[in-house]
């Protein structure tokens, strides 16, 4: 049994979540539920593997290791029934950097890339900052879940979208796309000949029996598909800045390798490969227990809010350690709410509008922390809710 209840002091470690809270107008001191890493100790075997690598005193230029690729292939085959050939793997730094260079390699300036919004905010940046345009495809909300609007998607594809950037599972709306939904997305992408960039960094954390479907399950898009995976979210290793792209089509793979090479962007630091191999070799039980713990946290939040803050809408938690909460009952926009939470209640949550214009009034709550920390956060949110309700009479 791993101890996810254990509170580990992270302040003073230069971590962004606790020590760099400038986005909230302070240096630190807020109880943080914002940026997407967790407060859990990683898998001991990962830490041991990195220590062992340090027994060799030289960290010169290194290549991706066969061991890390084999371990990744075995993990995806055993846990997700996705058979990856090691030759399809292209190592990269963080997922976001790899996305940026993929977009540059496959599209031209002025081209449009479709996003199902609300969505992870750097997606807007990697598209906009490389001179491409966002084709916004707002999701439809129903029964506290979010769904793709396929009619709108098709309309946008007809208008000339060049790529779809998918978040599978979907941050921030905690959605585990079903095979049917992804099949429909794949069919439309095939019909209109657009690239599919599928960010699957949250794939290992699906909750309450929901199962992740790799976009690679759909053969019709094989020659236009790039999938992105990493140990960063699953094993709380974002600081290693490492990821794998999986690109089955050789021609597509060389185009992307060329774009990365021309920009002199190479894979992660050598030590990351030791971590990746250990994670994908020894991590099964740890991840299973993490999932159970996160399910407990999600249930705790749902029940606490239903009992004490019934006006707040809780999106169904199918995947990820990020919850998507609708605070519109308080009559405040997300930015105002984020400011109030930080300024008066000492809390740092993600502001909904960062993820899409239509998400005003929503906040993203990171539940990747010991239950006791979450309870403290929930109590502070409850105070804000009660104060605000009293102020409004």
Ligand X SMILES: Cc1ncc(COP(=O)(O)O)c(C=O)c1O
Binding site for ligand X (CB under 6 A): 36, 94-96, 120, 167, 171, 199, 201-202, 230, 232, 238, 243
Query: Smaller CB distance to ligand X: residue 30 or 230?
Result: 230
CB of 149 to ligand X, least distance (A): 20
Give SS3 for 149: coil
Q: Could you tell me which residues come within 8 angstroms of residue 343 by beta carbon, excluding any fewer than 6 positions away?
A: 25
Least distance from ligand X to the Cβ atom of residue 36, Å: 3
The minimum distance between CB 204 and ligand X, in angstroms, equals 13
- Judged by beta carbon, residue 18 or residue 345, the one nearer ligand X is 18
Minimum CB separation from ligand X for residue 94, in Å?
3
Residue 193 CA: distances (Å) to CA of 53, 61, 184, 188: 44, 39, 14, 8
Specify whether the CB–CB gap between 243 and 230 falls below 8 A. Answer: yes
| Residue number, 171 or 351, with CB nearest to ligand X | 171
Residue 143, sorted as left (phi over 0), alpha (psi -120 to 50) or beta, turns out to be left
Select 34 or 345, whichever has its Cβ closest to ligand X.
34
Closest separation in Å from C-beta 38 to ligand X: 11
| Nearer residue to ligand X within complex by CB, 201 or 384 | 201
> In this structure, are strands 163-167 and 112-117 parallel, antiparallel, or unpaired?
parallel
Shortest CA distance to 62 belongs to which of 279, 281, 276, 280? Answer: 276
Q: Distance between CA atoms of 114 and 194, rounded to whole angstroms?
A: 10
Distance CA 247, CA 335 (A): 38
CA dist., res. 65 & res. 75, Å (int): 16
Kindly state the greatest CA–CA separation across the chain. Answer: 66
Provide, rounded to whole angstroms, the least separation between the CB of residue 290 and ligand X.
Answer: 16
CA 101, CA 140: separation in Å to the nearest integer?
30
**Exposure string for 177-186, b = 16+ CB within 10 A, e = fewer:** beeebbbbbb
Residue 267 beta carbon to ligand X: minimum distance, rounded to whole angstroms: 12
C-alpha torsion 116→117→122→128, nearest 10 = 80
Cβ distance to ligand X smaller for residue 91 or 384: 91
- For ligand X, give the closer residue by CB, 103 or 309: 103
Q: Where are the beta strands (DSSP E) in 215-283?
A: 225-229, 243-246
What is the smallest separation between the CB atom of 85 and ligand X, expressed in angstroms? 23
CA 217, 289, 377, 41: dihedral to nearest 10 degrees? -100
Pick 199 or 318: Cβ nearer ligand X: 199
- Closest contact distance (angstroms) between CB of 202 and ligand X is 6
CB of 6 to ligand X, least distance (A): 23
Return the number of the residue (36 or 378) whose C-beta is nearest ligand X. 36
Helix (H) or strand (E) holding 32: strand 31-33
Q: Which residue is nearest to ligand X (CB)?
A: 94
227's tokens: 């999938």
Nearer to ligand X, 233 or 309 (CB): 233
């Amino acid at each position: 049994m791993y101890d996810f209840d254990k509170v580990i002091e992270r302040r003073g470690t230069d971590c962004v979540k606790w020590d760099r809270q400038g986005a909230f107008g302070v240096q630190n001191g807020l109880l943080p539920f914002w940026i997407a890493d967790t407060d859990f100790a990683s898998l001991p075997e990962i830490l041991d593997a990195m220590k062992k690598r340090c027994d060799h005193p030289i960290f010169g230029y290194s290549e991706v290791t066969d061991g890390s690729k084999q371990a990744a292939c075995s993990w995806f085959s055993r846990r997700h029934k996705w058979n990856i050939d090691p030759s399809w793997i292209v190592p990269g730094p963080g997922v976001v950097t790899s996305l940026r260079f993929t977009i540059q390699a496959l599209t031209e300036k002025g081209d449009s890339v479709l996003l199902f919004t609300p969505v992870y905010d750097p997606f807007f940046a990697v598209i906009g900052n490389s001179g491409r345009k966002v084709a916004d495809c707002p999701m439809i909300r129903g029964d506290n879940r979010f769904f793709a609007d396929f009619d709108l998607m098709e309309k946008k594809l007809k208008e000339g979208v060049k790529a779809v950037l998918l978040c599978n599972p979907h941050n921030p709306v905690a959605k585990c796309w079903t095979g049917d939904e992804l099949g429909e997305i794949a069919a439309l992408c095939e019909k209109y000949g657009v690239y599919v960039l599928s960010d699957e960094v949250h794939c290992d954390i699906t909750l309450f029996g929901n199962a992740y479907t790799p976009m690679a399950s759909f053969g019709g898009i094989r020659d236009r598909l790039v999938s992105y995976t990493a140990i960063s979210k699953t094993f709380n290793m974002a600081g290693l800045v490492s990821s794998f792209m999986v690109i089955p089509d050789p021609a597509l793979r060389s185009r992307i390798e060329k774009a990365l090479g021309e920009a002199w962007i190479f894979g992660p630091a050598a030590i990351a490969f030791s971590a990746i191999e250990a994670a994908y070799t020894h991590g099964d039980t740890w991840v299973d227990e993490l999932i159970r713990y996160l399910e407990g946290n999600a249930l705790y939040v749902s029940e606490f809010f239903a009992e004490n803050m019934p006006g707040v809408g809780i999106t169904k938690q199918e995947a990820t350690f990020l919850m998507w909460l609708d605070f519109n009952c308080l009559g405040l926009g997300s930015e105002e709410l984020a400011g109030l939470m930080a300024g008066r209640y000492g809390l740092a949550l993600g502001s909904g509008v960062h993820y899409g214009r239509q998400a005003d009034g929503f906040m993203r709550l990171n539940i990747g922390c010991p239950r006791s920390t979450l309870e403290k956060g929930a109590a502070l949110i409850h105070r804000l809710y009660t104060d605000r309700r009293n102020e409004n009479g």
